[in-house]
Structure 1
């Protein structure tokens, strides 16, 4: 039986109710299904029709519908998933596929299926960011194996193949230029319905290779408004709510929320290619004007950590290796006009941008803000349309290793280079970090690469976020994943 939560104050409750009316209708399990379907309120709607070749892949992963050859343990080390083992020989890694796996359409997992999915991902434009700077080819081998070969020796191939953007789907998913994951995954839940950017539904897949899910299904509603997501938990309309805004966390019963330090950094990216911040001295002036501690206290209500670098407390080894960075001296920004962009999907970011506006105007800049939904602003940000951009960025989202994030965001040919940075010293440090074998030497090379980026002031890290997730009192086994890869698992269910 569902347990009612505390109600909102009346005006907020009415506003949230208007947003959520009908969102979770007809979700109760009937007939042979034991238990109740899990109702999930998610923050960002799909941007690419739930294509795994986009960031939508992480939704498929969080719903346990699409799977990869490899997954990561709590330490970020690779462990078996659709592949049971792997070995390296020079530039080639050979993966042994798990037997007895079927896709949701009943077809079998084969080496050819894996080759199809990975080859499609490797040739995508833009390619999955985990493959930034990586050229790979995939071939079917003997006895249920797949050989993955890279242009250069790559110690991180298993970790790369854990990225949800490299999920393996059935042949039916690939039609022309589109990838449709409906009924094409291998996980314990089958994606059965997608209603644009409003909702999605999944049913338990009883032939799942890993056992039987405890819940009969999942009903997902996309609720970009953070107040409305929190209201859904309070009113009992949702069982699991992701990304509860800090402004709402204090209004929820503490027993219903979980707060986990996560590898996510709130950063101000500065456009180094054109405009005011092409000048290193003005980038330095912006850096010196920012008061990150006041943002943590004021906007995040203390539920975040002031940044010492791009890599935060979720990667504790970074602090021990970090050394002071020599940066440019600040210039005079008087009268320089800048536009800062950010998005509404993460409720705190517009507030962060407003706080930055005040500080930068006090320093002498003339500041304009441009705030939209993420789906409507990402392309402009990547094209360098703004002088600065406030972004909440996961630093190990794809591989469990920050080298991929650093390359994606700061290499000359990085696919997410909002700062438009093209710095030979940074490129050299990033290449070294990516090529260094895993272990202490790689961690040191990663911190050196971080220092090279910070020395340019192309990015000003402000704070490291904590994930705040809401789970109703009758929810059992929801995942609390700092990497935001898992949410509803095989064991998640409603009492």
Structure 2
């Protein structure tokens, strides 16, 4: 029974709606999260859940400045090889265990050594950690690393209870224990994730909900209908085609922020039998597919022009964008010529796509454009968690997948392009690219780093293990009764200071 109907029945018999009911926040997600373990997970929606469940060492402002969260201050040695962090006192994990420097040391070690960890490439510069006080820890680095702070402001900096992690082992994701404003209550796959308020949270005065429930609803139309009916209070990723309608609805608010990430196609070039197809074996075929796509038309047809066409891991609006590698104009004849040069008159591609209407529409537009260049695409729709599993195991030829983006450019490319990196689903491996991206981590300033990223982007634009399409905007729709929501470029929903109006 939805809350609107329940409230009506209660008022009808002379009762009032209870405060507990009013303090339950329901948020619709674009898809279901994968496993709830910061070290093993990789979904964007998982990070939205973590924003309520797992505090980090560092947070960011809407302007992308780093600010304290579980770490209260930090300083670097003159050679840039030692990071000292002072930690927040009086913090406890959801199981009652204390947060301290020993807990941080355990978390960093787990991120670096857990066999299933997706964070390993983020901490390759860390030689060791040293507990120098109950609430002080030092990171000793092999070399200076300009990216480490950004990692500690993301999943790499999320702290879980060492006691709970050791006891649960591989089952930790079924009952995650962190130190955020809400603690885990239950999860029903593809249905809901329920968190309840953690009364001992260090910043509890800023939290005004008793619980938050995340509901995976892949269909954008259904998500919006649920918001309008009152069955949910908020949704993430409003469809661009619904933007005008939602803005005109007096019962709704619409907020947006430009994303840090990208959307495109990851190509399997080096893992298993699926990589032995023409697309995986020939960069000329990948170039042909890229030239077959009109990125601006894709943006207009699917998103009514709301997003930004792109061809790199950062958008043309970013200071890290390489202007020497511009977005290619569609050229069907060039695409056909590249296929010929590769030895093919036509090629077939199996194209994995998440099973939501927007992603399917993108795939259909790409399919129609590619067909004109003699590239026949078979669309295979998959539930999102299944798609991620298949991508990680190499059970795909091409996969329509994006990345929500990170505040440092390294977070958009290193883990996806370096040989053997945790999220390098394409299994792309080029020692020259590895050297450029690793050198960028230790370069002395942003200008030197950008020069290295520019060189890497030229190589990647030619070899195309990832074919970039566009950069989206995060668009949220929420009940007009919700106050205090602040949009962030990272797309997260931070519940501090948010509340339902009386």
How far off its partner does 1:363 sit? 0.8
* Residue of structure 2 in register with 1:349 after alignment: 359
- State the secondary structure of the residue aligned to 1:38: strand
- Does residue 371 of structure 2 align to residue 361 of structure 1? yes
* Residue of structure 2 in register with 1:67 after alignment: 55
* Residue of structure 2 in register with 1:185 after alignment: 178
Q: Is the 8 A contact 1:76 1:401 kept in 2?
A: no
Q: Is the 8 A contact 2:121 2:422 kept in 1?
A: no
Partner deviation per Cα, 1:30-63 (whole Å, 9 max, x = no partner):
46x595221211222232145553136513333x
CA distance in 1, matches of 2:464, 2:107: 38
After superposing the two structures, state which structure 1 stretch, 231-240 or 452-461, moved more: 452-461
Q: 1:75 to 1:428 in 2, by over 3 A?
A: farther
- State the secondary structure of the residue aligned to 1:317: coil
CA distance in 1, matches of 2:422, 2:36: 20
Q: 1:426 to 1:219 in 2, by over 3 A?
A: same
- Does residue 414 of structure 2 align to residue 407 of structure 1? yes
Q: Is the 8 A contact 1:183 1:192 kept in 2?
A: no
Q: 1:112 to 1:463 in 2, by over 3 A?
A: same
Alignment of 1:470-489 (within 5 A): 470-484=477-491, 486-489=492-495
Q: Is the 8 A contact 1:349 1:391 kept in 2?
A: no
- Structure 2 alignment gaps of length 5 or more: 5-15, 271-275, 329-333
Partner deviation per Cα, 1:205-229 (whole Å, 9 max, x = no partner):
3332224112233222222332221
Q: Is the 8 A contact 1:131 1:160 kept in 2?
A: no
Q: Is the 8 A contact 1:305 1:465 kept in 2?
A: yes
Q: How many residues align?
A: 462
After superposing the two structures, state which structure 1 stretch, 285-294 or 156-165, moved more: 156-165
Q: Is the 8 A contact 1:51 1:179 kept in 2?
A: no
Q: Is the 8 A contact 1:325 1:455 kept in 2?
A: no
CA distance in 2, matches of 1:237, 1:169: 32
Q: Is the 8 A contact 1:344 1:373 kept in 2?
A: yes
- Does residue 307 of structure 2 align to residue 300 of structure 1? no
- State the secondary structure of the residue aligned to 2:260: strand
How far off its partner does 1:250 sit? 4.2
- Does residue 315 of structure 2 align to residue 330 of structure 1? no
* Residue of structure 1 in register with 2:313 after alignment: 310
Divergent runs of 4+, >6 A = 325-329
Partner deviation per Cα, 1:85-132 (whole Å, 9 max, x = no partner):
122335332211111222233332121222222222221233234734
After superposing the two structures, state which structure 1 stretch, 285-294 or 328-337, moved more: 328-337
CA distance in 2, matches of 1:170, 1:133: 20
Q: Is the 8 A contact 2:93 2:177 kept in 1?
A: yes
How far off its partner does 1:471 sit? 0.8
Q: 1:113 to 1:60 in 2, by over 3 A?
A: farther
After superposing the two structures, state which structure 1 stretch, 173-182 or 289-298, moved more: 173-182
Alignment of 1:199-278 (within 5 A): 199-212=192-205, 213-254=207-248, 256-273=253-270, 274-277=276-279, 278=281
The TM-score, its normalising length taken from structure 1, stands at: 0.84
Q: Is the 8 A contact 1:65 1:191 kept in 2?
A: yes
Q: 1:451 to 1:103 in 2, by over 3 A?
A: same
Alignment of 1:86-165 (within 5 A): 86-89=74-77, 90=79, 91-129=81-119, 131-132=121-122, 134=124, 136=126, 137-165=128-156
The TM-score, its normalising length taken from structure 2, stands at: 0.83
Q: Is the 8 A contact 2:62 2:488 kept in 1?
A: no
CA distance in 1, matches of 2:216, 2:284: 42
CA distance in 2, matches of 1:126, 1:107: 25
Q: Is the 8 A contact 1:426 1:449 kept in 2?
A: yes
Alignment RMSD? 2.9
Partner deviation per Cα, 1:146-173 (whole Å, 9 max, x = no partner):
1223333323222211113431122343
